[in-house]
Structure 1
């Protein structure tokens, strides 16, 4: 029964992974590359170069090197009578926004929820739980504790090329239309949060309530306020952002291009298919 359960799990998991990677590869290849300045709102892909943001200083936690984004993992070496292995102790990633420049404009990228594939990856070992740079060697290395640690750090740096695909949104620059009823309702809800102030402005008979005529003035004032806010926002410079899609679509930030990513996904899909087939054959053999 245990063998059958493992076989069925391998068959289902391999099939799911195969179909998922195939769908993601097709989605990457079917999505046209856009320019930030003229991209349509919604799911989009871009090629550009990472730029540093003024006033933003980010330092990788293990190596201490300046960068734009980092991800790390710390493992401890375990050597007992039964097995020797590396056990994960800590891991984490940076959530600072990235700035992409494609020559036509700039786009801020929120990396939360993204599959990030950096080109810079360093792996080294040492005797300290939390290193600050590469581990010391020679006599200095022997002075550390008897434990061995392995550190893995991945980074994104300014000037590196980046392929990005995700949900694209813009604000300002006159690009957003005005949904007057929704904007008016938002203003009224905001005013209701300070109901005393609302009464002070629109309760003309001072009875502590707003009658139908007074509510009409509230709605008219909220409409004018919504239009004025939209006018002010449209006069601001356009701001572009890329984030995680709401639908089940790939959200990828990679220093490798679209074709290389699709090729990797196809190979991973093939591995999932092999695992699915092996699980099916094992299940059939056990049932037989």
Structure 2
């Protein structure tokens, strides 16, 4: 008995919608509960590990940034450029390019400062601009034209830019670590192994330092010298790091935990996640109903 290819496609789409909606619903519900249960920590007294911080963005280290589409000064940016496409009755916006900045951010609260590496974060900024133009890369004056330009009438490209600015409030959820200030301990075996791995990347240099008999290889005694030198190097690096000023960092967690940076507060974020979970539940239900209907129809 021949199977209708259209039926198979429909079953696949309905099944994917049901599974994807269910996964999204459970994920957003779990994240909403996590946000509601996590206590807010002060930077100075935050425990090492997964924490929730709330403060104000400040100008951090490095060169000041300018947003690529508008040229406005900011601390972080993200943009998208889309092109309007028509194919018969089908009309849609197709993504042409997108990017986001990778510079570190500086968050301050009443107790101290923390540097944030935004790579891998779900960033929800307060500032978002969208406009249209007739060039792939917009001119800044495109944003200040006639009403028709602002509404995108006759325009082929759409530009979307989001930014974080100094003085913006920021809710941050991620992996917190403190270096320097004599706070970090030393795992000597792990630190020694890391130094040896680093030296092995330049094996010729390693031979030049420790190959005493010049035979182009390291024997057991020479490897013992390598490990002893690596241990001393690891101890020197630890002393130097411990003597450096204390510095706090926030980054993406190694575990499968949310890494969030948002100008919205905890309650507003949790509420948005619950609405998104409801959308996922409706998609899951719709996919399941469609799957049941297709199976009944194909029976």
Q: TM-score range by the shorter chain?
A: 0.7 to 0.9
| 1:265 Cα offset (Å) | 0.6
Which range moves more in the overlay, 215-224 or 267-276?
A: 215-224
Q: What SS is found at the alignment partner of 2:171?
A: strand
Counterpart selection for 2:239 from 231, 243, 248: 231
Q: Matched residues in 2 for 1:207 and 1:89: separation?
A: 57
Whether the 8 Å CA contact 1:61–1:132 is kept in 2: the answer is: no
Pairing of 1:5-154 with structure 2 (within 5 A):
5-79=12-86, 81-135=88-142, 136-138=144-146, 147-154=155-162
Distance across 2 between alignment mates of 1:218 and 1:151: 56
CA distance in 2, matches of 1:23, 1:211: 55
Residue in structure 2 matched with residue 262 of structure 1 by the alignment: 270
The one of 199, 203, 209 equivalent to 2:210 is 199
CA contact (8 A) 1:75 1:87 kept: yes
CA contact (8 A) 1:76 1:147 kept: no
Q: CA RMSD in A?
A: 2.6
Q: Report how many aligned residue pairs link the two structures.
A: 280
The answer to whether the 8 A contact 1:191-1:198 is kept is: no
Shift of 1:197: 4.4
Q: For 1:9 and 1:187, how far apart are their aligned partners in 2?
A: 47
Give me the whole-angstrom Cα distance separating, in 2, the residues matched to 1:222 and 1:79: 63
CA distance in 1, matches of 2:197, 2:24: 46
Cα distance, 1:149 vs. partner?
Answer: 1.7
1:128-187 CA distance string (max 9 Å, x none): 221132515259x7xxxx752211111000110001111122211111101112223334
The separation in 2 between residues aligned to 1:275 and 1:165, in whole angstroms, is: 28
**5+ residue gaps, structure 2:** 1-6
- Counterparts of 2:51 and 2:171 in 1: how far apart (Å)? 11
Superposed CA deviations along residues 23-67 of structure 1, whole A, max 9, x for unmatched, are 111222222211222222221111011111244221111111111
Please report how far the alpha carbon of residue 122 of structure 1 lies from its aligned counterpart in structure 2 after TM superposition: 0.6
Whether the 8 Å contact between 1:78 and 1:87 is mirrored in structure 2 is yes
Q: 1:215 to 1:16 in 2, by over 3 A?
A: closer
Aligned residue number for residue 281 of structure 1: 289
TM-score by length of 2: 0.83
What are the ranges of 5 or more consecutive residues in structure 1 without an aligned counterpart? none
In the superposition, relative to structure 1, how do residues 189 and 69 fare at CA in structure 2: closer, same or farther (>3 Å)? closer
- Distance change >3 Å, CA 26–CA 213, structure 1 → 2: same
Following the alignment from structure 1 to structure 2, what is the Cα–Cα distance between the partners of residues 218 and 79? 66
Cα deviation for residue 222 of structure 1 reads 3.9
